Amino acid sequence: MADSNRNVEHLVEDLAEERPRHPEESASPSKKALPITVEDLEADDEVMALANTANTNLGVLGFTEHGPRHFRLVSRIARNVLRRLGYDERLQELAAIAGYLHDIGNVVSRYDHSLTGALLAREILLRHKVPVEDIAIVMGAIGSHGDDSQRLGEAVHPVSAALILADKSDVHRSRVRNIDPGLFDQHDRVNYASESSFLRVDPEEKTITLELTIDTEISQVMHYFEIFLPRMLMCRRAAEFLGCDFHIDINGVALL
Ligand SMILES: [Fe+2]
Ligand SMILES: [Fe+2]
């Protein structure tokens, strides 16, 4: 426990470092037509095989669900974040693609899965003849989404910011694989306690709010914060990258 506290402190210090960010200088996508949509990836045998094995491997290690349900949800939310904020359709599609592929690196290892995932995505997207400029944006987004190497990913592009927000807001009961509550770890308990989660994007107010309904019989709100603090910090930074403030609302009460 002492170790994990130290890690969180270290992460927070890392993030508190005030370095100016320049979202306006983000890379431009290609002007060539995008030859695929995210549906083509959902039907791709290699993607399916890698994703399923990645999810199986994480199950062996006792992690929550990181399979097709998670990919589809993250893909949809990432697209919606950019759509609601008025980004063009090209970037929306790239966010959907990054969302669908973001966790395939877990097939190599949980550790540094963001980095391996970015490289696997490159191969897959090259095979589909996606322009290299677009692949580069997806690679940056996938490579920057993780918090698994004691470093927090930081948004490098609007596509990247949308992916972080979408991924970190997927907290839900259905992700818990363990059917025996007696064997729940802290992550299981917090996920299991979450009955609904919704990422609300308000373009007028310039706010992005994670709305959660938590069964406090199962997990206290404080447990959620203890476990998810690094993720919430990533979300705040990602929202700021998109020119928005980030809020959390749990059981109808604004907590952040
Ligand atoms: Fe991930
Ligand atoms: Fe994920």
CA of residue 223 relative to chain centroid, distance: 20
Question: Is residue 20 a part of any domain in this protein?
Answer: no
The reported pLDDT for the residue numbered 30 is: 97
Interval between CA 63 and ligand 2 midpoint (Å): 11
In angstroms, how far apart are the furthest CA atoms of the chain? 54
Binned at pLDDT 50, 70 and 90, residue 2 comes out as very low
Mean pLDDT of 156-162: 98
Task: Report the predicted TM-score, pTM, of the whole model to 2 decimal places.
Answer: 0.90
In this structure, are residues 159 and 98 in contact, taking their beta carbons and an 8 Å threshold?
yes
103 within a domain of the structure (yes/no)? yes
Ligand 1 centroid to residue 57 C-alpha, Å: 14
Contact, 91 vs 79, CB < 8 A? no
C-alpha separations of 153 from 195, 214, 250 in Å: 27, 26, 24
- The boundaries of the domain holding residue 240 are 2-13+28-254
**80 assigned to some structural domain:** yes
User: Cα 80–81–85 angle (5° rounding)?
Assistant: 110
> How far does the centroid of ligand 1 lie from the alpha carbon of residue 97, in Å?
14
Residue 131 Cα, ligand 2 centroid: separation in angstroms? 25
Q: Is residue 23 domain-resident?
A: no
What pLDDT does 20 receive? 85
- Residues, CB-to-ion distance under 5 Å, ligand 1: 103
- Three-class secondary structure of residue 79 per DSSP: helix
Instruction: Using the mean position of ligand 1's atoms as its centre, give its distance from the Cα of residue 167 in Å.
Output: 7
**Separation of 99 CA from ligand 1 center, angstroms?**
10
Q: 226-254 pLDDT, tens per residue?
A: 777 888 889 999 999 999 999 999 888 88
Q: Which one of the ligands is nearest to 100 CA?
A: 2
Least Cα distance to 121 among 134, 76, 77 occurs for 134
State how beta strands 253-254 and 194-202 pair: unpaired
Banded model confidence at residue 132, pLDDT cuts 50, 70, 90? very high
Ligand sitting nearest the alpha carbon of 109:
1
What strands lie across the sheet with 194-202, from one edge to the other?
Answer: 194-202, 207-214, 245-250, 253-254
Given a cut of 70, whether residue 34 has pLDDT beyond it is: yes
Residue 68 and residue 56: Cα distance in Å, rounded? 11
Note the ligand closest to the C-alpha atom of 153.
Answer: 1
Find the 3 Cα to ligand 2 centroid distance in Å: 24
* Interval 58-113: pLDDT, tens: 989 988 888 888 999 999 999 999 999 999 999 999 999 999 999 999 999 999 99
102 Cα: distance to centroid of ligand 1 (angstroms): 6
The rounded Å distance from CA 239 to ligand 2 centre is: 17
What's the CA-to-centroid distance between 101 and ligand 1, angstroms? 10
Assign residue 97 the CATH number of its domain.
Answer: 1.10.3210
Let me know if residue 135 belongs to a domain.
yes
Three-state SS at 116: helix
Closest residue by Cα to residue 130 from 154, 96, 107: 96
How far apart are the CA of 81 and the centre of ligand 1, in A? 18
Residue 230 maps to a domain: yes
Please report whether residue 96 resides in a domain.
Answer: yes
Q: How many A from CA of 204 to the centre of ligand 1?
A: 30
Q: Would you tell me the crossing angle of helices 132-143 and 158-168 to the nearest 10 degrees?
A: 40
Q: Which ligand is nearest to the CA of 74?
A: 2
Is residue 18 domain-resident? no
Is the sign of the CA dihedral 85, 86, 87, 89 positive or negative? positive
Structural domain count of the chain: 1
**How many angstroms separate the alpha carbon of residue 89 from the centre of ligand 2?**
23
- Higher local confidence (pLDDT), 68 or 175: 68
Mean pLDDT for 157-169 is 96
Distance, CA 162 to ligand 2 centroid (Å)? 12
Question: With b meaning 16 or more CB within 10 Å and e meaning fewer, what string describes 162-177?
Answer: bbbbbbbbbbbeebbe
